[in-house]
């Protein structure tokens, strides 16, 4: 799989999300993500608006599904999402329901291993239950809370290569990465590069970051797309 750049629209206003998405696609971004704040604020309406504006662009709906998996995936697929997110912390049956809905309605499933006691095993489980992608994720609150306690903030890079080696489906790393680290993800075997808070979105205000974002995004996209994804040997 060639490197993919995904922008996380962690915004709370659909008009700003549409403007940011248009700018991001001009800069070379491949996938749009309706981030959890946008879904909370705008719901299915927000996903529909993104689909109307960008009819051929993959759209990830970051539902973080924990229950009611079939209906949630069906609704988002009907609104135009091409990918939905289910949590590894959910029951096996919920994950299976999301996967079935994905097959029924033509939507791919991204399994998120956030808060798994064993992140590598969590990724393996998500793959075994039928997920199409793994999101290797250190959560926003977790990172901030640990940093506030004066401790080293955990990074997805700590176990990224182990997660990549444990599964045969594509992996993306999310949570507290610097721009440089995000750009380097393909070199760790993770082809899906996510740009969001705080890379392109103000993490405190959840609004588009200041500055010449389009030029910065273009440079980032060029750097990511120029890479080869490292092949990491699978560990069974």
Does residue 232 form part of some domain?
Answer: no
Does residue 83 form part of some domain?
Answer: yes
Does residue 233 form part of some domain?
Answer: no
Query: pLDDT tens, 140-183?
Result: 999 999 999 999 989 999 999 999 999 999 999 999 898 889 99
CA dist., res. 80 & res. 90, Å (int): 24
Does residue 125 form part of some domain?
Answer: yes
Does residue 181 form part of some domain?
Answer: yes
In 65-137, which ranges are continuous DSSP H helix? 69-79, 92-105, 119-128
Contacts of 26 (CB under 8 A, 6+ apart): 214
- Domain containing 58 equals 4-225
Count the neighbouring beta carbons within 10 Å of the beta carbon of residue 52: 10
Does residue 169 form part of some domain?
Answer: yes
Query: pLDDT tens, 3-40?
Result: 999 999 999 999 999 999 999 999 999 999 999 999 99
Q: How many domains does the chain have?
A: 1
Query: pLDDT tens, 81-99?
Result: 999 999 999 999 999 999 9
Instruction: Check pLDDT > 70 for residue 48.
Output: yes
End-to-end CA distance of the chain: 21
Strand-pairing partners, residue 193, are: 5, 173
Tell me the whole-structure pTM to 2 decimals. Answer: 0.93
Question: Domain containing 54 — which CATH number?
Answer: 3.20.20.70
What kind and span of H or E run contains 59? Answer: strand 59-65
Does residue 190 form part of some domain?
Answer: yes
Instruction: Check pLDDT > 90 for residue 206.
Output: no
Task: Output phi, psi for 51, to 5 deg.
Answer: -65, -40
């Amino acid at each position: 799989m060639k490197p993919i750049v995904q922008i996380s629209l962690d915004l709370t206003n659909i008009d700003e999300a549409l403007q940011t998405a248009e700018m991001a696609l001009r800069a070379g971004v491949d996938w749009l993500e309706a981030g959890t704040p946008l879904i909370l604020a705008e719901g299915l309406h927000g996903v529909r608006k993104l689909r109307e504006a960008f009819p051929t662009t993959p759209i990830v709906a970051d539902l973080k599904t924990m229950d009611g998996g079939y209906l949630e995936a069906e609704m988002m697929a009907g609104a135009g999402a091409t990918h939905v997110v289910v949590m590894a912390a959910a029951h096996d049956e919920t994950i299976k329901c999301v996967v079935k809905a994905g097959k029924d309605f033509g939507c791919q499933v991204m399994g998120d291993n956030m808060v798994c006691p064993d992140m590598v095993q969590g990724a393996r489980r998500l793959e075994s239950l039928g997920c199409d992608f793994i999101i290797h994720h250190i959560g926003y609150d977790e990172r901030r809370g640990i940093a506030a306690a004066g401790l080293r903030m955990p990074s997805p890079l700590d176990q990224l290569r182990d997660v990549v080696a444990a599964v045969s489906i594509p992996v993306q790393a999310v949570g507290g990465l610097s721009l440089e680290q995000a750009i380097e993800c393909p070199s760790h075997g993770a082809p899906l590069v996510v740009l969001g808070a705080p890379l392109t979105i103000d993490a405190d205000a959840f609004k588009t970051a200041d500055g010449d974002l389009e030029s910065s995004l273009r440079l980032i996209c060029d750097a990511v797309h120029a890479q080869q994804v490292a092949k990491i040997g699978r560990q069974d």
